[in-house]
Amino acid sequence: MTYLIFISISLSGALLYLLSSSSANTEGFSNNYYGLLGLTGVLASGLAGLVGYQLWRLRNKLKNKIFGARLALRLVLFFTLIAVLPGVLIYAVSVQFLDKSIESWFDVRVEKALEGGLNLGKSSLDNSLKELSKKAQFTASFLAEKSAGQYQHALENLVDEEVAQEAALFSVDGKLIASSIDDNAQLPDKPDNELMRLTLAKGKYAVIDTLPNKGLTLLALVMVNSKMPTGGRYVLQFTQPVPKQIETDAETVQTVYRDYQELTLSRVGLKRLYAITLTLSLLVVLLTAVSAAFFLSDGFGSSLEALAEGTRAVAQGDFTEQYPIRSSDELGALTGLFNQMTRQLLEAKQTSEQQQRIVESAKVHLESVLTHLSSGVLALDHELRLRSVNTSAAQILAAPLQEMQRLSLTQIADKYSLLRSFCLTITEAFGATESGEWQRQIERLSKNGTQILLMRGTRLPQGGEAGYVVVFDDISHLLQAERQAAWGEVARRLAHEIKNPLTPIQLSAERLQHKLSDKLDEADAQLLRRATRTIVSQVGAMKNMVSDFANYARGPALKLSHLDMHKLIKEVLGLYEANAILLVLKLDAAPSEVNGDATRLRQVIHNLLQNAQDALQGVIQPKITLHTEMQNGEIHLWVEDNGPGFPESVLSRPFEPYMTTKAKGTGLGLAIVKKIVEEHGGRIAIENIISGGARVSIVLPLVEEA
């Protein structure tokens, strides 16, 4: 039905267009008009049959009490009334208007006006032709005074001065002598034999002609009799195209005048046929409108019927049905919303299951990350019961933490004595802090001896299941390395301080023996020799001990390898992630590979971060910034804090051992850092930042590219 109505409307529009076009076209009016009238009548009969069929269908729906049929009937009546009443009114007015309009076409003044327009156009073209002919005569007189070699230049000057748009000079036998165009342009049209004959006979000739590719053109031909001794006879041709608008207007006026004369002969028949055309057109339009009214009403009723069926299905608990949307109006939108509601109810369970699978997948991923993390991680609930633990935590504590899940820290401490200090530290730290973040360093006994742990705790944000996270690392090896370096420095200084007076002591004892042995009696001389031998032997023993101290102070040999400094920095920062201090990391994107000892360089970064962290005690918003930059084959590392900065006493001797501002510091931290950096071929410097805080700068050479 939809396609039938669409085809009917398309045919109606096409036939009405053809009728209107034929009525305005005399040739089409005489050849095709009656055939178009017949096709329009057939179409009107078909539309009447279609309206009858739609009326019969609506009657059956009303008889069967189909939901929405009565609304469709009201809509049909309403649409039909809206279409018919204005159509009849417009038809009556149009008939009167058509009769008066046709009569007004045939007026003597109109005919006189058309004749005047034709005469005006001809006069305008004649005047332009006379003007062009005068210019051609003047130019011919001008060229008669010139030699043959000057014709081309003269014609080009005339065109440049806008005397003519195109000029050409031909011999009497039609050969082109000169023209106003260049070599690449199209050659001017040669005048035909008749024009050449007339020009030679009269001396000049002007005509309005239609030239190929130029349209209506003014053409002026003038004889040129050269006055030069070697001159001859030539024909000068001036052409000037008629402006397109003037040409179009002239043709339009001539066509209208011809059509007017034809319409005058068919006035009565024209009135009758126009009235028939108007009647058929109105009938086709009204029947199309009524058929469209049935179609639209049927669409409204179908949407209501589908919505009613869906409502009954939902009332019975069936959410699987989807009903077709048969219109794009509000009823169709309502049907779409109803289908959307049933889809959402059906997809709710599927979405819930999918979200559950996503959560499970995320949980597996998180567990995988925690398993491969080198730091130990504990997750606690709001009652400090162990919820989850990673593999590294169990390895660091050397305890089966996986078996302790769902146990509180108190229960774990009671059950495993080696974990008592660890659990008590966590319990006390979360109870004492208000910010929810803390950091502790504890020393505990383990199966392998004393173990030092760096611990950090964080309270999870409220929302969902509140809880706590504890991250810890075993830094025993770092502290041990620092102590060894400190002892090495002490040993070196002791060796230096002790070794200096030993040689003078030995020389003094030997000199005393040499000077006094001859002046003493045998008993005293024997005593002097024994005392001297004792002093010399003990000095030798002390020299051996000093050599052992010096060898210890030199430290272990470096184990050099290619290292990524950025990766090493990130590994060390992993120990400080849960710290309450804000850590800002700004790393250059360039490669940062150096040739160094990973253990010693890791100790350098850890010492600098620990010093910066100690300097920020009592600062309201503590912040540590690490950033790197590659310059001239070197990596520059800056460690900055916003603390009080270095005192002047430290800035004067920053790397001297035993220089410290800490209450419990040894003063060897920066000295050890400087020693390690210099062993790697680098350099170190410290300074205070103008805006506040301290900065430590380290420069290390990068690995040279092959």
3-state secondary structure 235-271: EEEEEEECCHHHHHHHHHHHHHHHHHHHHHHCHHHHH
Q: pLDDT over 90 for what percent of the chain?
A: 5
| 563 phi, psi to nearest 5 deg | -125, 145
- Per-residue pLDDT band at 190 (split at 50, 70, 90): confident
Asked if 445 and 452 touch (Cβ cutoff 8 Å), the reply is no
The distance of Cα 513 from the centroid of its chain, to the nearest Å, equals 95
Q: Are 526 and 533 in contact (CB under 8 A)?
A: no
Determine the pLDDT at residue 104: 61
Question: Would you state the structure tokens that stand for residue 207, as one six-digit string?
Answer: 């005509």
445: its two tokens: 């006994």
Q: What is the pLDDT of residues 275-296, one digit of tens each?
A: 666 676 667 777 777 777 766 6
In angstroms, the CA 571 to CA 567 distance is 6
Superfamily classification of domain 124-258:
PAS domain (3.30.450.20)
Residue 272, CB-side half-sphere exposure with 13 Å CA sphere: 5
d(CA 387, CA 409): 11
Higher pLDDT, 701 or 395: 701
Give me the mean pLDDT over the 77-82 stretch: 75
Q: Which two tokens stand for residue 89?
A: 């009114």
**How crowded is residue 405: how many other Cβ atoms within 10 Å of its Cβ?**
12
User: The domain 373-472 belongs to what CATH superfamily?
Assistant: PAS domain (3.30.450.20)
Beta bridge partners of 211: 215
- Of 686, 677, 499, give the one whose Cα is nearest residue 603: 677
The mean pLDDT of 80-108, rounded to a whole number, is 67
Q: Which of 278-287, 576-585, 618-627 has the lowest mean pLDDT?
A: 278-287
Q: Is 583:624 a contact under the CB 8 Å cutoff? A: yes
Alpha carbon distance 133, 211 (integer Å): 18
pLDDT, residue 706, reads 47
Burial tier of 280 (Cβ tally within 10 Å: 0-12, 13-18, 19+)? buried
* Residue 456, strand partner residues: 439, 471
DSSP 382-450: TT-BEEEE-HHHHHHHTS-GGGGTT-BHHHHHHH-GGGHHHHHHHHHHHHH-SSSEEEEEEEEEETTEE
DSSP result, 167-192:
EEEEETTS-EEEESS-TTSPPPPPPP
User: What single-letter amino acid sits at 121?
Assistant: G
Q: What is the pLDDT of residue 33?
A: 56
Q: For 337-360, give the secondary structure using H, E and C.
A: HHHHHHHHHHHHHHHHHHHHHHHH
- pLDDT tier at 300, thresholds 50, 70, 90: low
566 pLDDT band (50/70/90 cuts)? very high
For 421, 453, 469, the CA distances from 443, given in Å and listed in that order, are: 8, 6, 20
Residue with more model confidence, 436 or 636 = 636
d(CA 475, CA 487): 18
> From residue 18, how far is each of 12, 104, 395 by CA, in Å?
10, 24, 94
Band (32; pLDDT cuts 50, 70, 90) = low
DSSP secondary structure letter of residue 657? T
Is residue 143 packed enough to be buried (19+ CB in 10 Å), middle (13-18) or exposed (0-12)?
buried
Q: How far is CA 164 from CA 133, 179, 200, 341, 687, in A?
A: 10, 12, 22, 81, 89
CATH architecture group of domain 561-701: 2-Layer Sandwich (3.30)
Alpha-carbon distance values, 42 to 8, 45, 611 (Å): 11, 5, 103
DSSP string, 468-499: EEEEEEE-HHHHHHHHHHHHHHHHHHHHHHHH
pLDDT at 386 over 80: yes
> Residue 594's pLDDT is what?
92
Spatial contact of 104 and 267, defined as CB atoms under 8 Å apart: no
User: What band does 204 get if pLDDT is binned at 50, 70 and 90?
Assistant: confident
- Calpha distance 381→666 (Å, rounded): 41
C-alpha angle 117/120/123, rounded to 5°? Answer: 150
CA 474 – CA 479 distance, rounded (Å): 10
Instruction: Write the pLDDT tens digit of every residue in 302-335.
Output: 666 666 666 666 666 666 666 666 666 666 677 7
- Torsion over CA: 601, 602, 607, 609 (sign): positive
The residues, ordered by sequence, that sit 6+ positions from 649 with a Cβ below 8 Å of its Cβ are 659
What pLDDT score was predicted for residue 695? 92
**Amino acid 404: pLDDT:** 86
Residues 140 and 236: beta-carbon distance below 8 Å: yes
Query: What is the DSSP code string of 194-242?
Result: HHHHHHHHHSEEEEEEEETTTEEEEEEEEEEE--STT--EEEEEEEEEP
Per-residue pLDDT band for 28 (boundaries 50, 70, 90) equals very low
Q: Between the ranges 80-89, 127-136, 418-427, 520-529, where is the mean pLDDT highest?
A: 418-427
What's the mean pLDDT when you consider all of the chain?
Answer: 75
Question: Cα separation of 303 and 328, whole Å?
Answer: 10
Query: pTM of whole model > 0.75?
Result: no
Q: Please give the pLDDT value at position 131.
A: 78
pLDDT beyond 60 at 534: yes
pLDDT at 635 over 50: yes
> In whole angstroms, what is the distance from residue 204 CA to residue 275 CA?
58
Least confident of 62-66, 327-331, 401-405, 409-413: 327-331
pLDDT value, residue 480: 62
How long is the chain?
706
pLDDT at 184: 47
DSSP string across 495-534: HHHHHHHHHHHHHHHHHHHHHHTTTS-HHHHHHHHHHHHH
Q: 95-120 pLDDT, tens per residue? A: 666 666 666 655 555 656 666 666 76
Cα 4 to Cα 46: distance, rounded to the nearest angstrom: 11
H helical segments located in 266-319: 267-315
- Provide the terminal-to-terminal Cα distance of the chain, rounded to the nearest Å: 81
Which two structure tokens, joined as six digits, stand for 422? 């660890």
Phi-psi region of 70 (alpha: psi -120 to 50; beta: other; left: phi over 0): alpha
Range among 475-489, 510-524, 644-658 rated most confident: 510-524
Q: What gap in Å lies between CA 706 and CA 700, rounded to an integer? A: 18
